[in-house]
Every structure is written in C-alpha cells, then in structure tokens.
Structure 1
Amino acid sequence: MTDATWSRNEDHLPAALRGLRIPLIASPLFIISVPELVIAQCKAGIIGAFPALNARETEGEPPLLEAWLKQITEELDRHNQENPDRPAAPFAVNQIVHRSNTRLERDLEICTRWKVPVWITSLGARPEVNEAAHSCGGVVLHDVINNRFAKKAIEKGADGLVAVAAGAGGHAGQQSPFALIREIRSWFDGPLALSGAIATGESLLAARAMGADFGYAGSPFIATHEANAQSEYKDMIVESGAEDIVYSSLFTGVWGNYLKKSVSRAGMDPDNLPTADASSMNFGSGSSKPKAWKEIWGSGQGIGAVTEVCSTADLVDRFDREYRAAGARLAAEFTG
C-alpha cells in the first residue's frame, strides 16, 4: 500500500485538527510536558500538548506560560519556514477548569493573546473557557470519562471530546473504550479522541476503527529524551507492563492509574491502598497532588509496548510504521 492510498475523511474536523502525519494527539503530562517535548511532538507531525499549570514561575517573576508560548510559537514558525513541505502540527494547551485553579483567569488571557490553536479542558466544563478559546480561533477538546459528561461538555460549547477510557494514564475512567466510543458516536459526529493504552500504531488503528478521529497517547512519551521526567521514572516505564499499574483515588482524590513500583518505593502496599474523595483535590499550588505524593508516578496500561528510552521523533516514527502496517494488513483482508 503506497502513501497515496492513505487518506482520511477530515471534512467534519476544524482546520487545526486536519492534515496530521498520523491521527495522534500527545496528552498533556503533569510536570513532564515542557516546550522541548511539545516542539518535538509537533515537528514529528502530531499535536503536542502541555498543561498550563506546568509553567510555574516564582513569586515576582513574569508569567512563565507567556515565555513558553513564545518559545513554542517561534520555534514552530521557524520550522515551518524552513520545511514548507513538512510543516509542524499545531500545539495544544491543557486548562484545568477545577474551581481550585486560581490561575485559570490569568492563563486564559495569556492563551487568548497568543492565539493557542487547540485547547484541552479538564475537570469541569465552563462556557466562559470555551468562549475565550473561540475568541482567538481556538478549538476546544474536553476530556470526559462517560457519556453523560460528554453531553454536558458539548452543551456548554466544547467543539470536541477526549474519551478517557479504562487503561489511560493519570486520571482515568473505568469504561471500556468499545462502550464509551459507541455511546458518544451515537449522537456526536464532531472531533473525538480516544485515551486509554494507546501506545502502538495497532492501538491507534483500533481507535480509528471504533469511530474515534484520533488516538490520545501520553505514557509512551514519558520515556523520551525530551520529556521532563527523572531517569528513574523513564526506566520504570520501560521496565513495567500492564500488571504493574494500580488504579487508586488516594493521591489526588480522583481515580487514576499509577506505577505500582513507585507506590511501593514510597512505603505503601499498592494492593491495599485507602481511598480519597474529590474534596481533597486542590490545584491552588499547580497540582492536585500533595507534595507527599510527588514521587508517585502516573502511567497507563499500554507501557508494555515501551521497550527503550528514545527520541520523540523515533517514537512517532514507530507509531507511524505500525499504524500503516496494521492498516495494510486489514486492507488486504477486505480487498484480497
């Protein structure tokens, strides 16, 4: 199968979400997603993303978010001028819309001024956030763990959805991706990404086959050279598999997936963890995770496919090869 036969129907997608090398969005990772990683992801042809709250300056300093957006925008513009036949993909900024995020209003103003092309919203759907994004031509994707939240997000003005299914890293839902995507697609025909163990080109193709427009992958990018993660964290991703993941609400008040080895290293039994409720979640300091849990590392169930620490470019190359090979195998089955 030649490249010419690979064409996706993107008519229903906003312009910012069209023309990617492969239909993949890199999820915004707390602490880990920094400009170097985002720039590498976009240059590799996929949407790179970071949480606005990752850009934290000390008191009295100018907003670091402003400096990051300037760095990313200028570097991608430079790349596009030098590579007109291979332009970078757009980037996304994740906004935590939880009421405890005291920076939200300031960060919305900065992102609006820099005309961020893709906005990913989490932990609350608020019309004023969507309006801010739309005022500068941005596209809003809201992450949800069930169909009820999906409908609320669209009703409040989001353009698209990220369906966070079982197996996703960090804050994750419990529903099967098969069920979640089908329920959403029964009424919504706009942009839809699937999160949950998307770590290979085959899983990306499966997401597309189920009806998602994009895969949404985070954990594999932790084990890249550009990721702002400790070397021990990267090595633990490489050494672990799906059985090494624990699902717990203890660390943030919201259920999520974490590496068992990091829990054990903190002196706790990963198989006997107490629970916490959402009232303990507080983003006033930039993260809902108390400092006591800073060495508890998030990860999705797909990391068995991660066998080495590599560059972001090499990782996207792998996704691309696997995606095309899997598609060719299935195409042969249906046309042979």
Structure 2
Amino acid sequence: MSSRIATSVTSLLGIDLPIVQAGMSWASSDSALPLAVSRAGGLGVVAAGPMRIGDLTRTLDEMADGTDAPWAVNLPLYRAGAEEIMDLLAERRPPVLIASQGGPRRYLRRFQGIGTTCLHVVATPEHASKAVDAGVDGLVVVGAEAGGHPPPAMVTTQVLLRAVRKTVPDIPLIASGGVADGYGLAAALALGAGAAQFGTRFLASAESAVHPAYKRAVVAAGVDHTRTVGRGLGMIRAISNDFTARMTELEESGSDLQLRRKIFQDSTLRDAAVHGDICKGKVEAGQSAGLVDDVLPAAEIVARIVQEYADAVARLQAPSVDT
C-alpha cells in the first residue's frame, strides 16, 4: 500500500492508514479478513470471542506467518476461558490487543511487558478516564450507531467522541459506530480521533467468514433497518427480522423478563453468521449498513475508503471562511 495517512493512531500502531477493521465474531474469527486488511495498510483484527483454543492457535500462527504488518486480537474479557486465552496470547505476542467488557488492569502489565500495544474499548467518558489512568495505550470509543453491543446510554459516536476527547485530551482514540466510508473517516479525524473502526463495512467483504445470506442482508438494509433489542439482557443492534420484531413486541408490552430472556437467548449470532438464518438469528450490524451497497474484497474496500477520504479533505479545503 503506497498511500499513507499519518495520525496519532497510525504512529502508535505502526500502520499506514487510520483504518481499523472491527473484531467481529465469526466474520473475523479466522485469518482471512484480518490478513487482507493488514496487508492493505490498515489494522486487521482477529475476533477471539467465539473461538476455541485450537482454532485461535492456528489463526494466530497464520497471522504471524501471513504478514509483517501489525495486526490485533480482540478479546471480550467476560468470555468463558478468558484467562486461558490470555495465556495463549501471551505466548504468541500479538502486536496489538483490543480488550473489552472488563477492566484493563486485569491484563495491562502482562501484555505491555511483552511489547503488545493495548487498546481498550470504552463507551463513556468516565470509563475512558479510568482506562487512561490504568495506563492503556489507546482507546476505541463506541457510539450508539454501532452493531453488536452498542453502549446502554445510546450516545451517538459524534457526541461521545468529543466528550471523551475533552476528558482525555492526549490519548490516541479510535472512533467506532456509524463509519462506513472515507467521509466518515474524515469526520472522525476532525472530531479528534486518530482512526476509525469499520465493522459493518467489512462484514460485507469477500473475506468475511459470515454466511452469504448475512452479507446480502447487510447490503439490502437501509439506515433505519436496524433495531436495538435486549435492554438489560446484553443489548444488541441487529438488522430487523422476525427475532427483533418479537423482542420489540415483548419489550413494548412490558412482558415478563424471563420470557424476554428466553426469546433473546434462543436466538444467536451463530444462527445467522454460520447457518444463514437471517429471519430468526441475530443479524448484528450497525446503522451504517444503510451506507453499504456491495460486497467487495477487503483491499478494495480499504482503497475506496482512502480515495473517499481524499475527496472529503479536498472538499473541506475548497470553501473560504469570511471573518
């Protein structure tokens, strides 16, 4: 990749472009998508959340053998067997660790001690401040537009990013939620981030490991075709389908929590991502699905984002301001 966009995050991570592929369960729970993104100049991220030790071991070896460029592993700290996963990661020494759903003091000293750059996912200025005080190297700031698990307070990325930047003015930030193209990247950098994280855009990539029906659902979705359901149960944002309709009906009618929990747990992301059940499965995706119109190779997605970013910056430089 000949293009370079220098920011605080590219400097921290040693990458050419401020483009981070989100760690997405099943979609990037192998090496294909992360390798493609890292080779294209961004940061590819392996999603360790649903992976068994043997599968993760093989994938880590494929990442190390497949590129000299930096790459990352995303680890939800709440997952079963997280300590065993951390033991494996400490052996394999990934260039970057992105941790979520837990406190950073649990892993920081161990991984920074072996040279791994540690990023922590936050959704409030308060959590950002605590993570910075703990010593993280950078933050991923997730707003309400994001797919998967958006923040319970549902503050938009634009507002949340500015609030976090004001709270922790010096730490490198990665904006996540609602960004699907180079125009969104330009906006994220203007708001104080040093990179943007792209999840839904890379769901609809050739290398994404989700079922083709899942990819078609992302491409077909409009900006208003996702719903948040499961508040109090591990809320998710997903593309509207029979599952989200049923959950919405139960939530709006004030149905019993146990019934809602059963319906919520009976549907899984695996149903949609692996088996292609886009009617009853959890088709997790962000609002930016409405900006995704095609399935492309990851390297082509990266190149398009770079061109769109250049176009956005050129447009910003054109107007004059009268003072």
TM-score with structure 2 setting the length = 0.85
2:234: which partner in 1? Answer: 254
1:299: which partner in 2? Answer: 285
Match of 1:195 among 167, 176, 179: 176
User: After the TM superposition, which of the residue ranges 40-49 and 150-159 deviates more from structure 2?
Assistant: 150-159
Matched, 1:211 2:192: yes
Change (3 A) 1:134 1:291: farther
Runs of at least 5 residues in structure 2 that lack an aligned partner in the other structure = 272-280
Matched, 1:24 2:19: yes
Give the C-alpha shift of residue 272 in structure 1: 2.3
Matches within 5 A, 1:1-336: 8-10=6-8, 15-20=11-16, 22-33=17-28, 34-56=30-52, 63-77=54-68, 88=69, 90-98=70-78, 101-173=79-151, 174-188=154-168, 189-249=170-230, 253-261=233-241, 264=242, 266=243, 268-269=245-246, 271-274=248-251, 290=265, 292-293=267-268, 294=271, 295-333=281-319
> CA offsets, 1:303-336, max 9 Å, x none?
1221111111111111111011111111222599
Aligned residues: CA RMSD? 2.6
> CA offsets, 1:253-280, max 9 Å, x none?
222210103xx1x484364243899xx9
Structure 2 contact 15–43 (Cα < 8 Å) conserved: no
Work out the CA distance in 2 between the residues paired with 1:245 and 1:9: 32
Q: Secondary structure at the match of 1:333?
A: coil
Work out the CA distance in 2 between the residues paired with 1:102 and 1:243: 34
Work out the CA distance in 2 between the residues paired with 1:38 and 1:14: 17
Letter in 1 for 2:92: W
User: After the TM superposition, which of the residue ranges 138-147 and 151-160 deviates more from structure 2?
Assistant: 151-160
Runs of at least 5 residues in structure 1 that lack an aligned partner in the other structure = 58-62, 78-87, 282-288
**Ranges of 4+ aligned residues in structure 1 off by more than 6 Å:** none
Change (3 A) 1:273 1:316: farther
Structure 1 contact 146–180 (Cα < 8 Å) conserved: yes
Structure 2 contact 143–156 (Cα < 8 Å) conserved: yes
1:82: which partner in 2? Answer: none
Structure 1 contact 27–218 (Cα < 8 Å) conserved: yes
Structure 2 contact 25–48 (Cα < 8 Å) conserved: no
Letter in 1 for 2:246: D
Structure 1 contact 119–138 (Cα < 8 Å) conserved: yes
Structure 2 contact 145–287 (Cα < 8 Å) conserved: yes
Structure 1 contact 260–270 (Cα < 8 Å) conserved: no
1:83: which partner in 2? Answer: none
Give the C-alpha shift of residue 181 in structure 1: 1.6
User: After the TM superposition, which of the residue ranges 301-310 and 211-220 deviates more from structure 2?
Assistant: 301-310
Q: Secondary structure at the match of 2:318?
A: helix
Give the C-alpha shift of residue 290 in structure 1: 3.8
Alignment coverage as a number of residue pairs: 299
TM-score with structure 1 setting the length = 0.81
